[in-house]
Amino acid sequence: MKSWRPLTENELKSFLAIVFNMGLIRKSSIEEYWNSSLPSQASHWFKKVMSRNRFQNILKFLYVSDYSRNVPRQHPAYDPASRFRPLLSFMNKQFCRFIVPKKEVCVDETLMATKGHNVMRQYIPSKAAKFGIKFWMLCESATGYILQMSVYRGRHFDPVPAGQLQGTTVVMDLMSASNILNKGYHVFCDSFFCSQNLASRLIQTTTYITGSYLK
């Protein structure tokens, strides 16, 4: 693009600040954050930090992985999440650095909306987005603060080990990665995750569970 110019470190920080604030101030589209035609709904801060065109250019071309290291789809080691895997790994390392979570935590799924044709794309009619990439999340119940998250890449890439339940595997993996097993935590989850097998494994690690259970 003729309008593109090299990205500076300060611009990247400004870009991330805008993205974070978009999560706090919800609007119907990206363009609305720069729209000042309605004074009562205008958010002048965004325009002061960066122009809309520059933000959208960065958003279009920003990569968070080394593209040269990605393997083709036909390769046995192909990872459909490789384009954001480094960012996800970095975030998971940082989540627990800045907080000691309270005793009550919860595990649930969330759907990141996407219109792209990706092999990880799921259809969940009960979700507002309906189509998107599914993530498993472990959060502090009181605040919703994310302690750990993992992407579900589909049955082909994330098969359930023989003799195990997917819900049990998800909960144990998330809590183990967060280093909160054997510390007396109490996890809450719905019927997809909750099972006798999970309860038995958790109690062996001095971890308690509350959730709906379907026989």
**Tokens 């080691």 label which residue?**
77
What is the number of residues in the chain?
A: 215
Give residue 102's pLDDT.
94
Residue 108 confidence class, pLDDT cut points 50, 70, 90: very high
Q: Just give the CATH number of 98-211.
A: 3.30.420
Phi, psi of 214 (to 5 degrees): -105, 125
Strands (E), the chain: 104-113, 121-123, 131-140, 146-151, 186-189, 208-211
- Cα-Cα-Cα-Cα dihedral sign, residues 155, 159, 163, 166: negative
User: How far apart (Å, rounded) are the C-alpha atoms in residues 33 and 154?
Assistant: 34
Q: What is the pLDDT of residues 197-211, one digit of tens each?
A: 999 999 999 999 999
Give residue 17's pLDDT.
96
Residue 11 has pLDDT above 70, yes or no: yes
- Cα-Cα-Cα-Cα dihedral sign, residues 72, 78, 83, 86: negative
Q: What is the pLDDT of residues 54-70, one digit of tens each?
A: 999 999 988 888 888 88
The mean per-residue pLDDT over the stretch 149-162 comes to 87
DSSP characters over 82-97: TTTHHHHHHHHHHHTT
Domain definitions of the chain by residue range: 9-61, 98-211
Give residue 1's pLDDT.
66
The DSSP 8-state label assigned to residue 142 in this structure reads T
Burial of 22 (0-12, 13-18, 19+ CB in 10 A): middle
Average of per-residue pLDDT values in the chain: 90
Residue 120 has pLDDT above 90, yes or no: no
Q: What is the pLDDT of residues 177-186, one digit of tens each?
A: 999 999 999 9
Q: What is the pLDDT of residues 63-90, one digit of tens each?
A: 888 888 888 888 888 888 888 899 999 9
Cβ–Cβ under 8 Å, residues 64 and 84: yes
User: How far apart (Å, rounded) are the C-alpha atoms in residues 71 and 6?
Assistant: 27
Residue 48 has pLDDT above 70, yes or no: yes
103 or 70: which leads in pLDDT: 103
Residue 215 has pLDDT above 80, yes or no: no
